[in-house]
């Protein structure tokens, strides 16, 4: 009867190494979001967030992998994405999370913007070892 | 397919993006469009994104770039048909596309382009009809 | 042993239930009550006689828990009170204990241990019943919240190309989402180039609400329409300035009427009294 905070219902892993893989990943994420009846606006938020993170992974770490999970809090379902790369890592996460900060040639909206689009956002990084970013979007949140 | 067709209609260029943009496609569009504006000395560029379901910060930047570059080449850019979900996501992402003109659909976008170009050419906007001159601040 | 007494347990339980003053014949017919009770007794007695573990969280008990949960949820939706639902399960305990008493009248030791076991199991099942009952109630509340949110954000077409959306009540982030989505969707569907957000019915505007409003206006602009905020009461104007909120990028009007007048001007429309000649 008792349900833990979030229960993983299904898990799938996609390797991202080439540009075609990015398209494949986005399609997989969309499929899963549609399956749990996520609303259109939330789907767009989730896919945009995924798009930002997968671009970071391609640009800074030459690719990596992504776990796609359907999770449940008992009342509502959601999608959890975990992006894992073996890239150079982020030396200063606090700075990377600030609007307008970028080491590459971008607007620096990727990470802080992504955080605003999802319900839960977690980033772990070790210089020289890689970065793991986890995001969660509830179907109705 | 690595190219998005650019159509010429008199002194305007018309681009309809029918697929979800990926990075290389967007970069190609930027280069092609700027080339075309220069070659045809187009007065206005209309970009229809009604079929685009995702615009992330990179593609948002490309759209901003196109508008900025065309402006330097003396051409106005109007983006039309943005989906509600895309608009909400762009705002939350922190990308209000400053300096890009927008309109609801191709028809309203064309009217807006004409009115902007008429104004700059003759300082006379008598036949301006109904299009709202919106510049995003 | 209990298997044979199933009939007796059911009869006793039904008697208890029917004797209860709180019997809700208006919500559930006696026949329906009987079939519900029978299903539960069947499953429960089946489990008790298996001599399985008395831990109701274990897998062996899940069929019983499922039936009970189903009944509790239905009752919550039908509007039974917690007391009525409680009596439903407690009267079953009474019936079971009564049967035990008759059966082991001469053997006090067995009666005691068996009663204790029944007590434990039934208490655990009561907890399950209440948990599910309350969950059922919560679902009803959640559904109502959704309905209220849905009802309270009507988008009105005031003129060809002009939409108005009166907001009544507090504007929190969940509500802003709904307001924004409805408004943008309606803009696309009607091809309206001007939207008026009227906040006369919003009790207070703090920096968070202002942020929500600014977000809605910016999203509307991205789509190529203009968004005017109207219905700003003097107190709200005061707080906005005191809090240092910058609304200078937004067109604001004191009343819906002046917002409409502005919209007409933008669309180059004119409202005239019949018979007067345009200058």
- Identify which has the larger pLDDT, C104 or B112: B112
Q: pLDDT tens per residue, chain B (137 residues)?
A: 578 889 998 899 999 998 877 788 889 999 999 999 999 989 999 999 999 999 988 889 899 999 999 999 999 999 999 999 999 999 999 888 888 999 999 999 999 999 988 776 654 444 444 444 555 54
**C11, C129: one domain:** yes
B6-122 folds as: Transcription Regulator spoIIAA (3.30.750)
**C18, C101: one domain:** yes
Any C CB within 8 A of B95 CB: no
Least confident of A15-19, B25-29, C54-58: C54-58
The question of ipTM being above 0.85 is answered as no
Residue C198 maps to which CATH number? 3.30.750.24
**C22, C69: one domain:** yes
* Mean pLDDT in residue range C226-236: 92
**C11, C136: one domain:** yes
Judging contacts by C-beta atoms under 8 Å, the chain B residues touching residue C178 are: none
- Identify which has the larger pLDDT, C42 or B50: B50
The ranges assigned to domains in chain A are 7-138
Which C positions 202-231 lie with beta carbon below 8 A of chain B? Answer: 215, 218-226
**C82, C166: one domain:** no
Any B CB within 8 A of A20 CB: no
For A42, nearest residue in chain C (alpha carbons): C177
Q: What is the pLDDT of residue B79?
A: 95
Q: pLDDT for A59-73, tens place per residue? A: 888 889 999 999 988
* Number of domains comprising chain C: 2
Q: Which of C134, C150, C166 is the last residue of a domain?
A: C150
**C170, C205: one domain:** yes
Q: Is residue C274 part of a domain?
A: no
Q: Which of C129, C150, C171 is the last residue of a domain?
A: C150
What percentage of chain A has pLDDT greater than the value 90?
41
**How far separated are the first and last CA of chain A, in Å rounded?**
24
Q: pLDDT for A77-128, tens place per residue? A: 899 999 999 988 888 888 888 777 666 656 566 788 899 999 999 999 888 8
**C143, C39: one domain:** yes
**C139, C206: one domain:** no
> Does A1 contact C65 at a Cβ distance shorter than 8 Å?
yes
**C104, C141: one domain:** yes
> Does B94 contact A41 at a Cβ distance shorter than 8 Å?
no
pLDDT at position C66 over 70: yes
Burial C147-168 (b: 16+ CB within 10 A, else e): eebeeebebeeeeebbbbbbbe
The ranges assigned to domains in chain B are 6-122
**C123, C172: one domain:** no
**C224, C132: one domain:** no
Q: What is the pLDDT of residue C51?
A: 59
* Mean pLDDT in residue range C7-24: 78
**C21, C134: one domain:** yes
Q: Is residue C88 part of a domain?
A: yes
Task: Please give the mean pLDDT across all residues of chain C.
Answer: 84
Choosing among 3.40.50.2300, 3.20.20.150, 3.30.565.10, 2.30.30.40, the CATH entry for A7-138 is 3.30.565.10
Judging contacts by C-beta atoms under 8 Å, the chain A residues touching residue C211 are: none
Count of other CB atoms within 10 angstroms of residue C23 = 16
Tokens encoding B131: 């299009």
* Mean pLDDT in residue range C254-274: 91
> Does C181 contact A1 at a Cβ distance shorter than 8 Å?
no
Domain assignment of residue C121, given as a range: 6-150
Residue B134 has its nearest CB partner, among C161, C187, C226, at C226
Q: Is residue C273 part of a domain?
A: no
Tokens encoding C115: 């009663």
Q: Dump the DSSP string for chain C.
A: -TTTTHHHHHHHHHHHHHH-TT--TTTS-HHHHHHHHHHHHHHHHHHHHTT--S-TTSGGGHHHHHHHHHHHHHHHHHT--HHHHHHHHHHHHHHHHHHHHHHTTT-HHHHHHHHHHHHHHHHHHHHHHHHHHHHHHHHHHHHHHHHHHHHT---EEEETTEEEEEEES---HHHHHHHHHHHHHHHHHHT-SEEEEEEEE-S---HHHHHHHHHHHHHHHHHT-EEEEE---HHHHHHHHHTT---TTSEE-SSHHHHHHHHHHHTT-----TTPPP-
* Mean pLDDT in residue range A32-52: 92
Q: Which residues of B touch A (CB under 8 A)?
A: 20, 22-24, 53-58, 60-61, 83-86, 88-89, 92-95
């Amino acid at each position: 009867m008792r349900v833990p905070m979030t229960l993983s219902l299904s898990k799938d892993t996609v390797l991202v190494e080439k540009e075609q893989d990015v398209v494949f990943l986005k399609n997989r994420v969309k499929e899963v979001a549609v399956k749990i009846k996520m609303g259109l606006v939330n789907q767009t938020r989730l896919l945009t967030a995924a798009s930002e993170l997968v671009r970071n992974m391609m640009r800074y770490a030459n690719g990596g992998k992504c776990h796609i999970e359907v999770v449940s809090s008992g009342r509502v379902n959601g999608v959890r994405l975990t992006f894992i790369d073996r890239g150079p890592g982020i030396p200063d996460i606090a700075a990377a999370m600030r609007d307008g900060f970028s080491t590459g040639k971008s607007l620096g909206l990727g990470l802080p913007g992504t955080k605003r689009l999802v319900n839960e956002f977690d980033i772990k990084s070790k210089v020289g070892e890689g970065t793991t970013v986890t995001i969660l979007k509830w179907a109705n949140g | 397919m690595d190219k998005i067709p650019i159509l010429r209609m008199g002194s305007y260029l018309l681009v309809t993006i029918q697929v979800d943009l990926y990075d290389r496609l967007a970069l190609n569009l930027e280069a092609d469009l700027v080339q075309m504006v220069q070659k045809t000395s187009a007065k206005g560029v209309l970009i229809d994104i009604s079929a685009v379901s995702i615009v992330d910060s990179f593609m948002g930047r490309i759209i901003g770039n196109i508008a900025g570059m065309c402006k330097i080449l003396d051409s106005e850019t109007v983006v039309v048909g943005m989906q509600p979900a895309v608009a909400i996501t762009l705002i939350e992402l922190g990308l209000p596309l400053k300096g890009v003109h927008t309109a609801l659909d191709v028809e309203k976008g064309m009217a807006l382009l004409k009115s902007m170009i008429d104004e700059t050419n003759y300082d006379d906007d008598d036949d301006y009809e109904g299009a709202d001159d919106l510049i995003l601040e | 042993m209990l298997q044979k007494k199933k009939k007796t347990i059911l009869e006793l339980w039904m008697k208890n239930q029917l004797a209860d003053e709180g019997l809700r014949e208006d919500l559930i017919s006696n026949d329906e009550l009987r079939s519900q009770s029978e299903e539960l007794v069947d499953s429960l007695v089946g489990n008790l006689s298996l001599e399985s573990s008395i831990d109701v969280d274990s897998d062996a008990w899940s069929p019983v828990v499922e039936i009970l949960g189903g009944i509790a949820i239905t009752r919550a939706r039908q509007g039974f009170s917690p007391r009525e639902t409680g009596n439903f399960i407690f009267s079953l305990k009474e019936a079971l204990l009564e049967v035990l008493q008759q059966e082991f009248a001469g053997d006090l030791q067995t009666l005691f241990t068996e009663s204790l076991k029944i007590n434990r199991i039934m208490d655990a099942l009561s907890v399950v019943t209440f948990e599910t009952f309350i969950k059922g109630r919560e679902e009803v509340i959640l559904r109502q919240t959704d309905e209220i949110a849905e009802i309270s954000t009507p988008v009105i077409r005031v003129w060809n190309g002009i939409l108005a959306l009166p907001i009544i009540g507090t504007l929190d982030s969940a509500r802003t989402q709904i307001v924004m989505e409805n408004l943008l969707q309606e803009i696309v569907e009607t091809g309206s180039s001007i939207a008026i957000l009227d906040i006369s019915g919003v009790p207070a505007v703090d920096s968070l609400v202002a942020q929500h409003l600014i977000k809605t206006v910016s999203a509307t602009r991205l789509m190529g329409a203009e968004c005017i905020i109207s219905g700003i009461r003097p107190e709200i104007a005061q707080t906005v300035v005191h809090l240092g909120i910058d609304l200078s990028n937004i067109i604001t009007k004191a009343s819906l009427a002046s917002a409409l007048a502005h919209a007409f001007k933008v669309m180059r429309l004119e409202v005239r009294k019949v018979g007067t000649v345009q200058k």
